[in-house]
Structure 1
Amino acid sequence: MDLSLRTKLQYGAMFIALLGCVLTCVSTFVPLWKQLNLDLNELEIWTSGLWQTCVVQDEGGMQCKDFDSFLALPFQLRMARILMFLSDGLGIVGLIVSCFCLDCLKTTEKDTKKYLALFGGALFWMSGITALVPVSWIAYDTVQEFWDETIPEIVPRWEFGEAMFMCWFGSFFLMFGGSLLFCSKHAVTKQKTVRSQAKNTHIGLFYDPATLQNRCPDLII
């Protein structure tokens, strides 16, 4: 792998991880995690997020109400807030750390950049997994409540919202970006190995004893 391919891997990792970080940060605050299915009243659309519940009406626009207390929330919602904040923080720190491992910056040595790439990739993976846990947890509970036979059929059911898909895609983008950073680290190692082998081969050809003996027959080794 040459230098241009390693640089492409680094830039691709930064772009994909940045996209994933933006998606997870946006999904943390928008009230679009769940959507209420109202067959009897199609003029209203109820949506719910980690911070508030909103209702969209054709005539009155959107009205939202924040949740009153953090301690009064269900355990699932409290953990989702904490994990999403942790995921956003890890993703931002991972972006900052990964910037210092780019080849276009001459701030640190190559060996230090290699370890920074490993650390940045690990942060991206941790951020993606941390965001994947709460959204999958809420999705599982939503499915269980939707197919609960003890609830009458006339009762509206919550369904998946757009923010859940944003969070899923964001978490996968973060993990994919971390994987590309790991690949860029191996690209550096392989390039160094190829250069070292080429240098040893050049030296071996230059100091070949058989060649010297053919050139100087009277030379006794």
Structure 2
Amino acid sequence: MASIAVQLVGFFLGQLGFAGTVVANLLPQWRSTAYMGSNLITATAYMKGLWMECVWHSTGIYQCELYRSLLALPRDLQAARALMVLSCVSSVLASLVAAMGMKCTHFAQHSVVKSPLALGGGVGFLCAGLLCLVTVSWTTNNVIMDFHDPFLPRGMNYEVGLAVYVGYASSFLSLTGGLLLCWSRISSRERSQGPLHMQTSQPSSSPVAFNNIYPPAPLYNPPEALKDNNAPSLCSLSSSGYRVNNYV
């Protein structure tokens, strides 16, 4: 029962991590900056994401534009796109495999592939969390390096946006869910094996088949002594020189 609860918690955390990864992938707030004019009316915020670039004005106007060319994008942005897509795909596959391998589902009941499927789902969530974590960590490092670059203009210095923090939370949720699924598989395997008991060696009896083919030998009975070899006694009867016990 405890293993089922652990699997449910791990699967639920993995689903939360997958949802957060999708949200972080679509949000444009990966890099953000703010420009303040002479008053708050001219305030403008610029945001750059993996798929679009947006501008927000203090007057309430919100404009976004998708990137038109994939090859014209920087290499770090292309790599971040690929890693986040792979993270989402890994989460989807992990969800399907983990759902089939959980003990609370009816798929492959009483089968040896049930536990390996749960373990595979846990490994899939771990891969998804690592891919998302690598992406947001790489983006954070690039933003910090560009912010402290003295050769960049002041208006081009972006800061870490909201989507990066969502990505961090999603990666940790996916990693935690994957670890719980893997731990439930290991703990259930240890309980199924149980403690090792020392067994004393006992003499094994011969198989029944051999007993039927070779029946046990009869008991040994010593042969009786021949009567002719008995020594004549004084009480033995005799008639005309012949002994009676010779004929008895």
Which TM bucket (shorter chain)? 0.7 to 0.9
Greater relative contact order (CA < 8 Å, ≥ 6 in sequence): 1
Cα RMSD, aligned residues only = 2.1
Match status 1:142 vs 2:143? yes
Distance in 2 (CA, whole Å) between partners of 1:173 and 1:32 is 20
Higher percent of residues as helix: 1
Partner AA of 1:137 in structure 2 = W
Distance in 2 (CA, whole Å) between partners of 1:82 and 1:180 is 27
Partner AA of 1:16 in structure 2 = L
Distance in 2 (CA, whole Å) between partners of 1:22 and 1:155 is 33
Distance in 1 (CA, whole Å) between partners of 2:37 and 2:126 is 43
Runs of 4 or more off by more than 3 Å in structure 1? Answer: 39-42
The residue that corresponds to 1:25 in the other structure is 22
Using a 3 Å threshold, how does the CA distance of structure 1 residues 74 and 151 change in structure 2: closer, same or farther? Answer: closer
Note if contact 2:36-2:44 (Cα within 8 Å) is conserved in structure 1: no
Cα distance, 1:126 vs. partner?
0.9
The residue that corresponds to 1:209 in the other structure is none
The residue that corresponds to 1:83 in the other structure is 83
Cα distance, 1:6 vs. partner?
0.4
Cα distance, 1:177 vs. partner?
0.6
Where does 1:38-117 land on structure 2 (aligned, <5 Å)?
Answer: 38-40=35-37, 43-108=43-108, 109-117=110-118
| Identical counterparts, % of pairs | 29
Note if contact 2:115-2:185 (Cα within 8 Å) is conserved in structure 1: yes
Partner AA of 1:24 in structure 2 = T
- Normalised TM-score (structure 2): 0.73
Note if contact 2:28-2:53 (Cα within 8 Å) is conserved in structure 1: yes
Cα distance, 1:156 vs. partner?
4.6
Partner AA of 1:124 in structure 2 = F
The residue that corresponds to 1:13 in the other structure is 10
Higher Cα Rg, which structure: 2
Find the residue that maps to 2:15 and give its secondary structure: helix
The residue that corresponds to 1:125 in the other structure is 126
Note if contact 1:37-1:157 (Cα within 8 Å) is conserved in structure 2: no
Note if contact 1:38-1:156 (Cα within 8 Å) is conserved in structure 2: no
Match status 1:164 vs 2:160? no
Cα distance, 1:45 vs. partner?
1.3
Note if contact 2:46-2:55 (Cα within 8 Å) is conserved in structure 1: yes
Note if contact 1:17-1:178 (Cα within 8 Å) is conserved in structure 2: yes
Partner AA of 1:5 in structure 2 = A
Distance in 1 (CA, whole Å) between partners of 2:178 and 2:184 is 10
Spell out, residue by residue over 1:114-170, the C-alpha distance to the aligned partner (whole angstroms, 9 max, x if none): 111121111111111111222211111100011112335x43520011110111111
Distance in 2 (CA, whole Å) between partners of 1:185 and 1:28 is 31
Distance in 2 (CA, whole Å) between partners of 1:89 and 1:156 is 33
Note if contact 1:10-1:184 (Cα within 8 Å) is conserved in structure 2: yes
- Normalised TM-score (structure 1): 0.82
Where do 5+ consecutive residues of structure 2 fail to align?
Answer: 201-248
Cα distance, 1:49 vs. partner?
0.3
Note if contact 1:37-1:159 (Cα within 8 Å) is conserved in structure 2: no
Distance in 1 (CA, whole Å) between partners of 2:150 and 2:31 is 20
Distance in 1 (CA, whole Å) between partners of 2:155 and 2:60 is 24
Cα distance, 1:104 vs. partner?
1.5
Aligned residues: 196
Partner AA of 2:78 in structure 1 = R
Find the residue that maps to 1:131 and give its secondary structure: helix
Cα distance, 1:38 vs. partner?
2.2
Cα distance, 1:48 vs. partner?
1.0
